[in-house]
């Protein structure tokens, strides 16, 4: 019987880095749920170098608590990708969103995808300026944010910038931002 079980669960026999890579293709909520598979899987999700957090579709009571726990328990030394779909609600405040973004930035993020849903709050949120000073960030995707006017723009590795329904504090913000991106190869914009 043990021989049959061994052959049925070949995936669990893979090394931790491979399992972590497999889980990185799932939304974070599903990756965390992998702990129910067996004891072998319980710590794997904490090493996943890609986080896909859809705070809009979580129940209101658990939104900020779930994201806080994921960011505390995830021990990946760097994040290949950080995707956050969020909005301001009664339980999710601006400081929650900024702290989640700061947590990702501290881990040498390579790709960041931030989508803000204005349907709940009625207005775009001001993008935290700290995003504009990420040394290793290569891809930045922003949806429904207001870009700040800041002299501190340092994105030396950024090659792709995707802007969707972005507003600017000042008319010169976009021009200034683009002039500070030495490696930029791709820009897309949707209104």
pLDDT in tens, the chain (191 residues): 455 455 556 777 888 888 888 888 888 888 887 777 777 778 888 889 999 998 876 555 566 788 888 899 998 888 899 999 988 777 778 888 899 999 999 888 999 999 988 766 667 788 998 999 999 999 999 999 988 877 889 999 999 999 999 988 888 888 889 999 999 999 998 87
Phi then psi for 96, rounded to 5 degrees?
-60, -50
Give the predicted TM-score (pTM) of the model.
Answer: 0.84
- Residues 72 and 94: their CA atoms lie apart, in Å, by 19
Strand-pairing partners, residue 83, are: 52, 113
């Amino acid at each position: 019987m043990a021989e049959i079980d061994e052959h049925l669960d070949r995936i669990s026999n893979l090394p931790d880095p491979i399992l972590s890579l497999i889980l990185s293709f799932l939304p974070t909520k599903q990756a965390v749920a992998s702990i129910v598979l067996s004891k072998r899987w319980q710590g794997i999700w904490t090493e996943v170098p890609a986080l896909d957090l859809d705070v809009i579709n979580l129940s209101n009571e658990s939104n900020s608590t779930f994201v806080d726990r994921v960011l505390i328990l995830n021990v990946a030394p760097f994040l290949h990708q950080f995707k956050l779909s969020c909005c301001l609600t009664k339980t999710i405040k601006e400081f929650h969103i900024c702290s989640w973004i700061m947590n990702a930035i501290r881990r040498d993020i390579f790709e960041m995808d931030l989508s803000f849903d204005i349907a709940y709050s009625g207005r775009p949120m001001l993008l935290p300026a700290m995003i504009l000073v990420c040394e290793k960030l290569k891809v930045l995707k922003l949806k429904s944010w207001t870009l700040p006017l800041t002299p501190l723009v340092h994105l030396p590795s950024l090659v792709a910038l995707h802007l969707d329904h972005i507003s600017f504090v000042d008319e010169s913000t976009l021009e200034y931002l683009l002039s500070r991106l030495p490696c930029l190869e791709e820009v897309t914009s949707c209104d």
